[in-house]
Structure 1
């Protein structure tokens, strides 16, 4: 279903520097998720510059693996799903609604891609495409937590939209829809999604005038002790337990910043186009 015959699994695993067991076990899933989140880059440059994001595996492998560019959730999850399928994992794809900064009574579209992986009668949420993603899968039970990365996550079964129940991923913060000290990050149901469903969601995110990824670039990089974002021309760095650092950069500084801080390579023509578009945006 996820076109794993088109995936060069050896090249993907080599890019992750993964040399572990390839059996479809929880240990393998944990190691692959951690490696993917920390290695494969995250950006929305294609939607901002071209209003087009391709999800076919040859294009994804060329972009994310060979050229060292980043992508967003639909790209990450399509690539990861093909790898899991080729390794023999059983899973269901789902879509979620990002809740941060949103009013739960007016939900955003379900345009965040995730996987529910089945292992020995237990299901695990594998979310590799958020940018600041959990470094391990989270067991799909009410109250499950992840503490593997620099910030913890909490999974709850609760009301998510207009009285409907579903799953909510929480991160530290203050929000009306979560317990004290937590805010809802994204919500989702277990309704299965297929590649054609992701193609529809991806088209909206990549090309619609109302998509936040069309109107400005957004770039993320998570490390075990640091989280960097570039939102248009605002560069923010966070370390666990410390105040965030924020500064404004100039358009001509962005290509070097992408390479030095985010590990994202842009060719000369693309860098020139990006600087020009950022200058127009700033103006």
Structure 2
């Protein structure tokens, strides 16, 4: 495709997408839970959670062909609307029954929820069982799909403990924040976001996608960031810092973090060498305080 030429939906290729996320085996012919788990994990280990377009003079759009060109052809990443938006297309093309859901993230400052369509997540229905998929939630993301059929804790290979509960406000997705697994109904459970099971479409999320690119109450506007899962840990760039997180072999804690301060001239090379990200325009690093939102939900 020539530079500046618009890509058509017909040029979106499943096999190329699978190669991009490191799924080197042949495309599976049957949608199974094992396949779902593999592509979910592969996506998290290959596609960064990042918002660098916002901080390099661009504007994010949710058209599928644009997302495919960015994530697959340009080897970039994105935030939830992008990563989960395109991942839903991949799963559908592979034969999975996928439903887009609206999530409301719990604000760490106010402890209140964001507005509807604050977060895009996926539900996959497979052999009578429903699974929560999310490859766009950054450092609190889970490696493999989480069952929606139980409120019991679900362990993720020693690197996290999660559960899904339900009340009159909808479904709640929680993460265990204690140092070790043990009693699981104490105060150490942290609500990450809530959601309803009503089917949505990509267009429903456009307004909130714009909000997160322009609001002083959004982390995506206030901080330039890029993060990706790696075996045994996570690498995260924020503003002028590179953070390496090493996961514990057991326990639900956040892992051991080491931080390296960066000079502005170092950042482009760090992004390319560490995350495989090359930006078309210069990045303006940003790490400002987030203004608490005034409207509570």
Which band: TM-score by shorter chain?
0.7 to 0.9
CA–CA distance in structure 2, aligned partners of residues 76 and 59 of structure 1 = 12
Q: Corresponding residue for 1:170?
A: 175
Which residue of the other structure, out of 99, 108, 116, is the alignment partner of 2:114?
Answer: 108
Aligned residues: 266
Deviations 1:157-187 (A, max 9, x none): 145xxx624222314249xxx7343322222
CA–CA distance in structure 1, aligned partners of residues 160 and 188 of structure 2 = 11
> Which of the two has greater helix per residue?
1
Q: Quick check: 1:4–1:82 contact (8 Å CA) kept in 2?
A: no
Taking structure 1 as reference, are residues 139 and 68 closer, same or farther at Cα in structure 2, changes over 3 Å only?
A: same
Q: Quick check: 1:136–1:146 contact (8 Å CA) kept in 2?
A: no
Equivalent runs, 1:136-215 vs 2, <5 Å = 136-140=144-148, 141-148=150-157, 151-159=159-167, 164-173=169-178, 179-215=186-222
Gaps of 5+ in 2: 1-7, 180-184, 249-254, 289-297
Gaps of 5+ in 1: none
Q: Secondary structure at the match of 2:115?
A: coil
CA–CA distance in structure 1, aligned partners of residues 169 and 220 of structure 2 = 28
Q: Quick check: 2:98–2:122 contact (8 Å CA) kept in 1?
A: yes
RMSD: 2.6
CA–CA distance in structure 1, aligned partners of residues 145 and 36 of structure 2 = 8
Q: Corresponding residue for 2:43?
A: 36
CA–CA distance in structure 2, aligned partners of residues 64 and 51 of structure 1 = 15
1:244 to 2:257 alignment: yes
> TM-score, normalised to structure 2's length?
0.80
CA–CA distance in structure 1, aligned partners of residues 211 and 110 of structure 2 = 21
Equivalent runs, 1:209-248 vs 2, <5 Å = 209-241=216-248, 243-248=256-261
Q: Secondary structure at the match of 1:261?
A: helix
